[in-house]
Amino acid sequence: MDYPEALEELVESLQQLPTIGPKSAQRLAFWLLETAEPKALRLAEAIRTARSQIRPCRRCFNYSEQELCQICSDPQRKTGVLCVVVQPKDIVALERTREYRGGYHVLGGLLSPLDGIGPDKVRIHELLQRVREESIAEVILALDTTVGGEATCLYLSRQLGTDASVTRLAQGLPAGGNLDYTDEVTLGRALRGRRRVEDLSPQ
Amino acid sequence: MDYPEALEELVESLQQLPTIGPKSAQRLAFWLLETAEPKALRLAEAIRTARSQIRPCRRCFNYSEQELCQICSDPQRKTGVLCVVVQPKDIVALERTREYRGGYHVLGGLLSPLDGIGPDKVRIHELLQRVREESIAEVILALDTTVGGEATCLYLSRQLGTDASVTRLAQGLPAGGNLDYTDEVTLGRALRGRRRVEDLSPQ
């Protein structure tokens, strides 16, 4: 027996989603068929609404329903400092720390010349313009510590060097990390980035 | 920062799905926002179509887009034998074996007096009626080997006893199973259900 066509199509469109394999897609499809109708249609509606109402913030390219996102339109946020991230969900991660009250800039990707992603494919031009126009004093690079992240940091710090002070997130041991389980690159960076204990006491 | 409302709603409606926790829901929501628009809308559309077009087969209650499902409307299927299952996806599992060519009957649930699921809450009445009207000679009970499954088997075999021959799926060692890893209930049933080797040779 084949599935009815509409069920087959539902399974296939669920299988497009990341980390959803054929088995999970089948299970989710059956759930969507068997649950109360409003629950299933709620998801269909939420997808449509999200796709039609969410757009990039005009200034920082974070997700937003207005022209300016919640952060850019918040008068309480510090001006003069920008944190550069790759994607909107990195902002969520940084906000969760409650350690930062400045603005953001979403690049949209990392430089990757081998994949044809040059400086014109990510929002570097927009960043340079913002740094000048908003008289930014510090740019914090909060990028992945991968090859692409390192390359992008290097490129950005050269481009920004004279306009603003460029900093990067510290690299070292993760919280709750065991020294003997830490890889040698991380441990090497933690050593090189070591800090005087008295400097770490709360100010 | 909170998510924009439409994104929040998308995350929440994904979180309703079974086995999708908050982290996965977030990842899927971001994918649905970032992927090409037709891919995301395809899922929304597939949910709507499935909910509006798929209904239970009038005869056996399998999923169907027509009044009769693919199996009930197939003239090549054997008549006179019915396989009783709990849900439509059990039919898919049984069809995959290619060992059975008769009809099905989807109960829709197992008896569970403690949860208030009595014989009137599952499609037992419809089954008894079919057995009489379609002059069924054999009813195969293909139910879970759980407490609820056993109770339902017992009830059904009493109800059907005089009208048709009632059989159950064999219980025993699974294919590829190791004897020393098999639990004692399964092993006990395998022992009780042992068969003469000559009876097992292909006929």
CATH of the domain at A16: 1.10.8.420
Task: Determine the structural domain holding residue B142 and report its residue range.
Answer: 73-200
Answer for the pair B80, B103: CB distance below 8 angstroms, yes or no: no
Residues of chain B found within 8 Å of residue A16, distances taken between Cβ atoms: 35, 39, 42-43
Pairing of β B165-168 and β B138-141: parallel
Quote the CA–CA distance of B1 and A69 in Å, as a whole number: 10
Residue B167 lies in a domain: yes
**Is the Cβ of A100 closer than 8 Å to some Cβ of chain B?**
no
Judged by average pLDDT, the poorest of A80-84, B66-70, B80-84, B174-178 is B174-178
- What six digits make up the tokens of A27? 């299970």
Round to whole Å and give the CA distance between B191 and B171.
Answer: 10
Q: Which residue has the tokens 């197939």?
A: B74
CB of B117 within 8 Å of a chain A CB? The answer is no
On the question of pLDDT at B191 being above 90, the answer is: no
List CB contacts (< 8 A) between A17 and chain B.
28, 31-32, 43
**Quick one: pLDDT at residue A176?**
83
Please tell me the predicted confidence (pLDDT) of residue B85: 95
Per-residue pLDDT in tens (0 to 9) along chain A, 203 residues: 678 899 999 999 999 999 999 999 999 999 999 899 999 999 999 999 999 999 999 999 999 999 999 999 999 999 999 999 999 989 988 998 889 999 999 999 999 988 889 999 999 999 999 999 999 999 999 999 888 999 999 999 999 877 789 998 988 888 887 888 888 888 888 888 888 887 776 65
Residue A164 Cα, gap to closest chain B Cα (Å): 26
Name the average pLDDT for chain B: 90
Q: Are residues A170 and A142 in the same domain?
A: yes
- Beta strands A165-168 and B55-56 are unpaired
CB contact under 8 A, B32 and A18: no
Contacts of B188 by beta carbon, 8 Å cutoff, 6+ apart: none
B34 assigned to some structural domain: yes
pLDDT, mean of residues B176-184: 83
B186 and B93 assigned to the same domain: yes
Q: What is the CATH number of the domain that holds A119?
A: 3.40.1360.10
A23 lies in a domain? Answer: yes
Same domain, B86 and B164: yes
Higher pLDDT, B200 or A104: A104
Q: What is the mean pLDDT of residues B48-75?
A: 94
Judging contacts by C-beta atoms under 8 Å, the chain A residues touching residue B28 are 17-18, 20
Please check the confidence at residue B60 and state whether its pLDDT lies above 90: yes
Q: Any chain A CB within 8 A of the CB of B8?
A: no
Residues B85 and B128 in one domain: yes
Q: Is residue B42 part of a domain?
A: yes
**Which residues partner with B167 through β-bridges?**
B140
Q: Is B9 on the interface with A (CB under 8 A)?
A: yes
Residue B168 CA to residue A67 CA, distance in Å, equals: 64
B22 and A CB contact within 8 Å: no
Q: Which residues in chain A have Cβ-Cβ distances shorter than 8 Å to B42? A: 13, 16
The residues near A1 (Cβ < 8 Å, ≥ 6 apart) are B70, B71, B91, B92, B95
Measured between beta carbons, which residues in chain B are less than 8 angstroms from residue A7?
A: 50, 54, 63
| Minimum CA–CA partner of B103 in chain A | A1
Contact B18 A28 (CB under 8 A): yes
ipTM: 0.77
The reply to whether A48 and A93 lie within a common domain is no
pTM reported for the whole predicted model: 0.76
- pLDDT, position A172: 86
Q: pLDDT per residue over B11-52, tens digit each?
A: 999 999 999 999 999 999 999 998 999 999 999 999 999 999
| Contact flag B40-A46 (C-beta cutoff 8 Å) | no
Which residue in the set A2, A17, A43 is minimally distant from B70, CB to CB?
Answer: A2
Residue A128 shares a structural domain with residue A172: yes
Q: Is residue A60 part of a domain?
A: no
For residues A139 and A44, membership in a common domain is answered with no
Measure Cα distances from B65 to A1, B90, B108, B153 in Å. 13, 18, 18, 30
Same-domain status, A165 and A104: yes
Note whether A111 and A25 are same-domain residues: no
B79 with B131, same domain: the answer is yes
Domain count, chain B: 2
The 10s digit of each residue's pLDDT in A84-130 is: 999 998 998 899 888 999 999 999 999 998 888 999 999 999 999 99
Does residue B104 contact residue B62 with C-beta atoms inside 8 Å? yes
Decide if B42 and A16 are in contact by the 8 Å CB cutoff.
Answer: yes
Please tell me which of the candidates B6, B24, B30 has its beta carbon nearest to residue A53.
Answer: B6
Interface check B171 vs A, CB under 8 A: no
Residue B59 inside a domain? The answer is no
CB contacts, 8 Å: B19 with chain A: 24, 27
Residue A83 and residue A100 in contact, taking contact as beta carbons nearer than 8 Å: yes
Same-domain status, A81 and A159? yes
B94 vs A: CB within 8 A: no
Residue A58 lies in a domain: no
On whether any CB of chain B is under 8 Å from the CB of A92, the answer is: yes
pLDDT tens digits along B123-163: 999 999 999 999 999 999 999 888 899 999 999 999 987 77
Write the residue in A10, A24, A63 that is nearest to B4 by C-beta. Answer: A63
- Chain B, 137 to 166: residues with Cβ < 8 Å from chain A are none
pLDDT for res A201: 66
**Any chain A CB within 8 A of the CB of B115?**
no
Query: Does the distance separating the beta carbons of A40 and B9 come in below 8 Å?
Result: no
Residues A79 and A44 in one domain: no
Please calculate the CA angle B77-A31-B58 and round it to the nearest 5 degrees: 35
In a domain, B68, yes or no: no
**How many Cβ contacts (< 8 angstroms) between chains A and B?**
154
Residue numbers of A between 43 and 72 with CB closer than 8 Å to B? 43-51, 53-54, 63-65, 69-71
User: Is B14 in contact with B20 (CB distance < 8 Å)?
Assistant: yes
